[in-house]
Amino acid sequence: MKSAKEVFNEYLKEKNLKHSKVRDMIIDIFLKTERHLTAEELYFLVSKKYSKIGFSTVYRTLKHLIRAGLCREIKLEDGITRYEHLYGHQHHDHIICIKCGKFVEVVEPQIEILQEGLFEKYGFIPKSHRMELYGICKKCIKKNK
Amino acid sequence: MKSAKEVFNEYLKEKNLKHSKVRDMIIDIFLKTERHLTAEELYFLVSKKYSKIGFSTVYRTLKHLIRAGLCREIKLEDGITRYEHLYGHQHHDHIICIKCGKFVEVVEPQIEILQEGLFEKYGFIPKSHRMELYGICKKCIKKNK
DNA sequence: CTCTATGCAAAACCTTTGCATAGAA
DNA sequence: TTCTATGCAAAGGTTTTGCATAGAG
């Protein structure tokens, strides 16, 4: 299987886009950070290494990652967009702690099957779905005791 | 069972808030529109009857509806906030047409049970969840044929 | 050299807030 | 009269865009 980096390089070549110090830096930091980053978090991570980075470059680079199929925007109930790794990850949903914001990716094939059933029942052609479970995680339960 | 209007009147009384022509108008239009409105849509519906209405009044009134327990904000993948009726509606999820935007509310108790299982598996205290199914509805399938 | 990438500032969105005035009780 | 409600304009927060310049190939 190709690495995410290779996929991105192919995307650049295909679109006649270029490498640059800044672009490669953002890509590397995004790819090695296996969390659901916000644009702001990514901006701060990059700015530690290169303080002149601009927000627009971060946003523009994220758009490229999306077009290259390496990344997906997710919008949760707080309204802030997060960017999640897509390449080499199977479909999953999220369980989220409303106290500390911790994310866990969850997979539940039986739910997927029932979802297919709902699409069929309502006569829809399935395209995608999202499911988020909000609760309080173990650590935060302990803290409040 | 109390009507939604009664619930709202009690809320106003309890908080020492007042009725007003504009407030009652917004509430009435919201309550009789059984759709998932955006603030903008509600604004335009109201402005047909009363053109001087301001956006801030719409937003402020929606916040009151939320506090009164009659309404819930939902944020979908497009990032735009929609306001959905809460009072007298059982918990449900949504199936959404990505072509025409049509919403259907769906209920699937078996999925709810599996969700509870996931909360337990990951050691979370359940608080809420959301599920949205995105696809293409019957009408839009026909249109594209 | 030519075309793309960048940083900055400004604009674009959606939503909230401050303030003076209108209106409810 | 004494509050609260309203409309307007301004301000917030996040994301996008225009533009002159730097940089890649």
Q: Which bases along strand C come within 7 Å of a protein CB atom?
A: 3-10, 14-18, 23-25
Predicted confidence (pLDDT) at residue A10 exceeds the cutoff of 90: yes
Distance B105 CA to C16 C1' (A): 30
Q: Which residue has the tokens 């290169």?
A: A50
The predicted pLDDT at position B8 comes to 97
Distances (CA, A) of B51 to A28, B23, B42, B45: 53, 14, 12, 10
B111-129, pLDDT tens digit by residue? 999 999 999 999 999 999 9
Average pLDDT (B8-26) is 97
The predicted pLDDT at position B85 comes to 94
CA distance B98 to A26: 32
Average pLDDT (A40-53) is 96
Which residues make Cβ contacts (< 8 Å) with residue A3, sequence separation at least 6? Answer: none
Distance A12 CA to C10 C1' (A): 29
Q: What secondary structure letter does DSSP report for B35?
A: S
Burial environment of residue B140 by CB neighbours within 10 A (0 to 12, 13 to 18, 19 or more): middle
Query: Could you tell me the pTM of the whole model?
Result: 0.87
Given A106, A114, A138, which is nearest B111 (Cβ)? Answer: A114
Q: Which residue has the tokens 């309204």?
A: A79
The predicted pLDDT at position B98 comes to 87
Q: Token pair for residue A118?
A: 């709902």
Q: What secondary structure letter does DSSP report for A69?
A: T
Classify the phi-psi angles of A69: left when phi > 0, otherwise alpha if psi is within -120 to 50, otherwise beta.
left
The predicted pLDDT at position A127 comes to 93
Domains of chain B, CATH where assigned: 4-85 (1.10.10.10), 93-143 (3.30.1490.190)
Which residues make Cβ contacts (< 8 Å) with residue A64, sequence separation at least 6? Answer: A8, A11, A17, A23
Which residues make Cβ contacts (< 8 Å) with residue B35, sequence separation at least 6? Answer: B41, B103
The larger pLDDT score, comparing residue A36 to residue A76, is at: A36
The larger pLDDT score, comparing residue A78 to residue B3, is at: B3
pLDDT category, A135, cuts 50, 70, 90?
Answer: very high
Cβ-Cβ contacts under 8 Å, A79 against chain B: 75, 79, 81
Mean model confidence pLDDT for chain B: 93
Distance from the A124 Cα atom to the nearest Cα atom in chain B, whole angstroms: 5
Residue from A138, A79, A108, A133 nearest B128 by CA? A133
